[in-house]
Amino acid sequence: MNKKNIICLIITILLLLGSFYLYTIEKYSFLIVVVPLIIVFIYFSFKDVGIKKSPEEEYNSFLKDVMKTYDAVLIDVVDIPNVEGRSIVKVSNFEDLIDAQIEIRKPIYYKRADRSTLFVLLDDKQVCIFILKVDDSEKSSFDRWLSNLEKEKSKFDDSILRDIENTTIVRLDNNKSYRIIPIRDDKKKIIKDHKELEKTLLELPKLKDTIELSNTQKYKIKKASKSN
């Protein structure tokens, strides 16, 4: 029994109680109006009971209710919003997505496909994603998009972390040398002059974001090297 059936059933019960009261006070003329209403609401109360909807009907019915109920916060988009740089949160049901929307007060973008609909809620640091499907066991185009997105994010993060783990550069307090510490093999090397530092940097693995010494740092190292 769905929400509409339950509402109709409640109204039916209230009408029955009202009709009984009218009968007890002998207001028979009002019963002529109330009784047909009771019959109508009884019909709608049990109209869909026992009728099993197909997955497509369930999907379309739920989607229709969502669009009608939450029209004020939903935005239909042609292209999926850019979610780059945000952590991904996969939401298990639409109600939880609405709870998140109420919390952060931002619109929900949606994009429809043949048998699935993607809902995206963007925040500054994370993105909440819910995929509504006709059949949860099916692999939709949005599932593939999300899978590729997670793979790319994992690949990027792993690469950056690996580079950071491989090489850490720390400037000593006296400004006369740098210590290069490859964390994985736990080897340590003390650099005492500018040329040796540049040579060591050239031998390090290439990082995605190149580490360069500023002119001030180079000047300090060069000056310290000359004083030695």
Of 111, 142, 162, at which residue does a domain stop? Answer: 162
Residue 179: CA count within 13 A, CB half-sphere: 10
Tell whether 201 and 130 lie within a shared domain. Answer: no
User: Which residues, 6 or more positions from 176, have their beta carbon under 8 angstroms from its beta carbon?
Assistant: 192, 221, 224, 225, 228
Q: Quick one: 138 and 67 in the same domain?
A: yes
In this structure, the answer to whether residues 153 and 66 fall within a common structural domain is yes
Spell out the per-residue pLDDT of the chain, length 228, in tens: 556 767 777 888 888 888 888 778 877 777 788 888 888 878 777 766 555 678 898 899 899 999 999 999 999 999 999 888 788 899 989 999 999 999 999 999 999 998 999 999 999 889 999 999 999 888 899 999 998 888 877 665 555 555 545 555 545 455 544 544 444 444 444 455 556 666 666 665 544 444 444 454 445 555 555 555
Mark whether 171 and 156 lie in a shared domain. no
Residues 36 and 83 in one domain: no
Q: Is residue 78 one of the residues assigned to a domain?
A: yes
| Range of the structural domain that residue 23 is part of | 3-45
When divided into structural domains, the chain yields a total of 3
The pTM (predicted TM-score) of the whole model is: 0.51
Q: Which residue has the tokens 């340590």?
A: 188
Of the three residues 130, 162, 194, the one that is the final residue of a domain is 162
Query: Helical H runs in the chain?
Result: 3-24, 28-45, 55-69, 94-104, 141-166, 194-203, 215-227
